Amino acid sequence: MLNTFRRQAIRSAMKIDPAVVKLLDIDPENTTVSSAGGGGCSSASTSRITTKLSDGTQKLFFMKSGSGKDAEVMFKGEHASLNALHDAVPSLCPQSFGHGTYSSQPSTHFLVTDFLSLTGRSSSKSSAPSLASKLAKLHTTPAPIPEGYDKPQFGFPVTTCCGDTPQDNSYKSSWADFYANNRLRFILKRAEKNNGGDKELHNLVEATASKVVPRLLDDDHLNGGRAVTPVVVHGDLWSGNASAGTIGTKGGDAEELVYDPSACYAHSEFELGIMKMFGGFGGSFLKEYHELYPKTEPVAEYEDRVKLYELYHHLNHYALFGGGYRSGAASIMKNLIRKYGAD
């Protein structure tokens, strides 16, 4: 995998680094660290921190660690992503407590969040709000206004990584502008850098960005000409990043939640692209979601918009892994250009 940072062996009951102790304000003598096995990003080590607080209660944390600049960028982005989601819907995902660099190993970076005890979505019979309802609430929460701007913007205050791809989240006032340039043209450059030049793919992406995107996503076209409001999206919500369980040590019934986000402030329907690409969210999920959060007008173009958003993830997977993802991306673009790309 591209930009993969070195795995580190985590031994049971390993010593906790002083930087983590300082961040969490915990007693190292009453704290243990053990491997958390898999889960999360495949290119980072994961561990479980168990500590006893001054009142005698036990608290659990989850930590990722990895080496090099890539890990530092990824953890900074995931920290901001988790807290943007958590601020909008606290029960949707774990809270991040911070990120930093080991005192003992300056090349090693870490991220610490709430610990999740996962049971799997299929086993959840909780009376808590469903994932569809939580996502609908997330997508009805307007993005904050960035410093120096007079209204919410599309983008995000820090770089976030979708897989191992660090994304360009620089702010744009137009969603069509952001999607064409910060997503499609940006990921095309990554794909060309990693896989070599490809004239047909280049021309297809350019035609999609210059013709299809304005036709489907222009501010004067969406939502009856009222444009769309930026909302925070998870950004990488495939079925492997959703489950059911409990957050931290609060106990109670398991409820549906998400993790490993790659957030940005976007059109809410951008969330649905990768959900459609890999499946795992059936018709009943979307029915409930859209009853709470209706499809953007014009509704007749909804399926094509979701396909356009799915395209980004095909291109990102092609940039990361090459191979068969190119054909999926090309097929989507040819169909959309045929339908919307006429001069």
Q: How far apart are CA 343 and CA 336, in angstroms?
A: 13
Cβ atoms of 28 and 16 closer than 8 Å = yes
Burial class (CB in 10 A: 0-12, 13-18, 19+), 102: middle
Residue range 80-108: mean pLDDT, rounded: 96
pLDDT for 97-124, tens place per residue? 999 999 999 999 999 999 999 987 665 5
- Judge whether residue 303 has pLDDT over 50: yes
The pTM score is: 0.92
Cβ atoms of 264 and 233 closer than 8 Å = yes
Q: How far apart are CA 343 and CA 341, in angstroms?
A: 6
- Judge whether residue 39 has pLDDT over 70: no
Please provide the CATH number assigned to the domain covering 18-118: 3.30.200.20
- Judge whether residue 13 has pLDDT over 90: no
**Top-level CATH class of 125-341?**
alpha beta
pLDDT for 53-65, tens place per residue? 888 899 999 999 9
Cβ atoms of 88 and 100 closer than 8 Å = no
In a 13 Å sphere around the CA of 208, the CA atoms on its Cβ side amount to 30
- Judge whether residue 1 has pLDDT over 60: no
Cβ atoms of 264 and 167 closer than 8 Å = yes
Place of tokens 């005698």: 56
Is 236 an active-site residue? yes
Q: Which of 111, 118, 105 is nearest to 47 (CA)?
A: 111
Q: How far apart are CA 310 and CA 196, in angstroms?
A: 23
pLDDT for 125-153, tens place per residue? 667 899 999 999 999 999 999 999 999 99
Q: Which of 16, 46, 20 is nearest to 31 (CA)?
A: 16
Q: How far apart are CA 310 and CA 327, in angstroms?
A: 13
Determine what percent of the chain is predicted with pLDDT higher than 70: 92
Confidence bin at 11 (pLDDT 50/70/90): very low
**Domain layout of the chain by residue ranges:** 18-118, 125-341
The DSSP code for 148 is T
User: Which tokens go with 148?
Assistant: 């120096």
- Judge whether residue 78 has pLDDT over 80: yes
36 or 169, higher pLDDT: 169
70, 164, 236, 260: the catalytic one is: 236
